[in-house]
Chains A and B, each alone.
Chain A
Amino acid sequence: GRACLSYSEPRARDGRSEEKEEEEEEEGCYRLYPGHIPTSPLQKALLAAGSALMALYDPYRHDMVAVLGETTGCLALPNLRDKMKHHPEGYRILQERPRIRLSTLDTARLRGLPDGTLGREYVRFLEDNKVSPDTRMPPKFVDDEELAYVIQRYREVHDLMHTLLGMPTNMLGEVVVKWFEAVQTGLPMCVLGAAFGPVRLSARKLQVLATELVPWAIRSGRNASCILNVYYEQRWEQPVESLREEIGIFPPP
Chain B
Amino acid sequence: AVGLWPCRALLARRGGALRALCGSVRGLAAEPETHFGFQTVTEAERREKIYKVFESVAEKYDVMNDSMTLGIHRVWKDILVHKMNPSPGTLLLDVAGGTGDIAFRFINYVRSVRERQLQRKLKHHQNLSWQEISESYQEDKSKSLGDSQVVVCDINKEMLKVGKQKAQHLGYSEGLSWVLGNAEELPFDDDKFDVYTIAFGIRNVTRIDLALQEAYRVLKPGGRFLCLEFSHVSNPLLSRLYDLYSFQVIPVLGEVIAGDWKSYQYLVESIRRFPPQEELKAMIEDAGFFKVDYQNLNLGIVAIHSGFKL
Q: Give chain A's interface residues, CB within 8 Å of chain B.
A: 1-4, 8-14, 16, 18-19, 21-27, 30, 37, 40, 42-43, 46-47, 50-51, 53-54, 61, 63-64, 67, 140
- Of the candidates A10, A21, A23, A54, the one whose C-beta lies within 8 Å of that of B257 is A54
Q: Which 10 A-B pairs have CB atoms at the shortest separation, nearest pair first? A: A50-B256, A22-B16, A24-B38, A46-B252, A21-B40, A1-B1, A42-B248, A54-B256, A12-B272, A63-B259
Residues of B within 8 A of A25 (CB): 12, 38-40
Residues of B within 8 A of A42 (CB): 248
- Of the candidates A4, A19, A67, the one whose C-beta lies within 8 Å of that of B16 is A19
Residues of B within 8 A of A140 (CB): 261
Assess whether B256 is in contact with A51, with CB atoms less than 8 Å apart.
Answer: yes
* Nearest B residue to A37, CB-CB: B261
- Contacts of B203-239 to chain A: CB distance below 8 A: none
Assess whether B273 is in contact with A16, with CB atoms less than 8 Å apart.
Answer: yes
Assess whether B255 is in contact with A47, with CB atoms less than 8 Å apart.
Answer: yes
Q: A243 to chain B: closest CB distance in Å?
A: 36
Assess whether B252 is in contact with A50, with CB atoms less than 8 Å apart.
Answer: yes
Contacts A1-B1, A4-B1, A54-B256 hold; do A22 and B248 have CB atoms under 8 A apart? no
* Nearest B residue to A61, CB-CB: B259
Residues of B within 8 A of A14 (CB): 276
Interface residues on chain B, number (Cβ under 8 Å): 35
* Nearest B residue to A40, CB-CB: B248
Assess whether B247 is in contact with A16, with CB atoms less than 8 Å apart.
Answer: no
Assess whether B1 is in contact with A8, with CB atoms less than 8 Å apart.
Answer: no
Contact with A along B1-23 (1 / 0, CB 8 A): 11001001100110110001000
Selected A-B contacts with CB under 8 Å, 20 pairs: A1-B1, A2-B1, A4-B1, A8-B248, A10-B243, A12-B272, A14-B276, A18-B20, A22-B40, A23-B9, A24-B40, A25-B12, A25-B39, A26-B8, A37-B262, A42-B248, A50-B256, A51-B256, A53-B256, A61-B259
Cα–Cα distance between A208 and B40 once the two chains are bound (Å): 58
* Nearest A residue to B270, CB-CB: A12
Cα–Cα distance between A26 and B276 once the two chains are bound (Å): 24
Q: B205 to chain A: closest CB distance in Å?
A: 16
Residues of B within 8 A of A50 (CB): 252-253, 255-256
Assess whether B248 is in contact with A27, with CB atoms less than 8 Å apart.
Answer: no
Contact with A along B278-291 (1 / 0, CB 8 A): 00000000000000
Contacts A8-B247, A23-B9, A37-B261 hold; do A43 and B252 have CB atoms under 8 A apart? yes
- Of the candidates B35, B248, B276, the one whose C-beta lies within 8 Å of that of A21 is B35
Assess whether A12 is in contact with B269, with CB atoms less than 8 Å apart.
Answer: yes
Residues of B within 8 A of A24 (CB): 38-40
Residues of B within 8 A of A2 (CB): 1
Cα–Cα distance between A22 and B18 once the two chains are bound (Å): 12
Assess whether A9 is in contact with B13, with CB atoms less than 8 Å apart.
Answer: no
Q: A167 to chain B: closest CB distance in Å?
A: 27
Q: A145 to chain B: closest CB distance in Å?
A: 10
Q: B198 to chain A: closest CB distance in Å?
A: 21
Q: A23 to chain B: closest CB distance in Å?
A: 7
Contacts A3-B1, A26-B12, A54-B257 hold; do A46 and B269 have CB atoms under 8 A apart? no
Contacts A1-B1, A12-B272, A16-B35 hold; do A64 and B13 have CB atoms under 8 A apart? no
Assess whether A10 is in contact with B269, with CB atoms less than 8 Å apart.
Answer: yes
- Of the candidates B5, B9, B251, B276, the one whose C-beta lies within 8 Å of that of A43 is B251
Residues of B within 8 A of A16 (CB): 35, 273
Does B79 count as interface, using CB distance less than 8 angstroms? no
Cα–Cα distance between A2 and B262 once the two chains are bound (Å): 22
Cα–Cα distance between A45 and B40 once the two chains are bound (Å): 30
Q: B25 to chain A: closest CB distance in Å?
A: 16
Assess whether A27 is in contact with B38, with CB atoms less than 8 Å apart.
Answer: yes
Q: B249 to chain A: closest CB distance in Å?
A: 6
Residues of B within 8 A of A10 (CB): 38, 243, 246-247, 268-269, 272
Assess whether B8 is in contact with A64, with CB atoms less than 8 Å apart.
Answer: no
Cα–Cα distance between A67 and B244 once the two chains are bound (Å): 22
Assess whether A67 is in contact with B40, with CB atoms less than 8 Å apart.
Answer: no
Assess whether A46 is in contact with B38, with CB atoms less than 8 Å apart.
Answer: no
Residues of A within 8 A of B257 (CB): 54
Q: B246 to chain A: closest CB distance in Å?
A: 8
Cα–Cα distance between A30 and B1 once the two chains are bound (Å): 10
Cα–Cα distance between A10 and B246 once the two chains are bound (Å): 10
Q: B283 to chain A: closest CB distance in Å?
A: 14
Residues of A within 8 A of B20 (CB): 18
Residues of A within 8 A of B273 (CB): 12, 16
- Of the candidates A3, A11, A67, the one whose C-beta lies within 8 Å of that of B38 is A11
Cα–Cα distance between A26 and B13 once the two chains are bound (Å): 11
* Nearest B residue to A7, CB-CB: B247
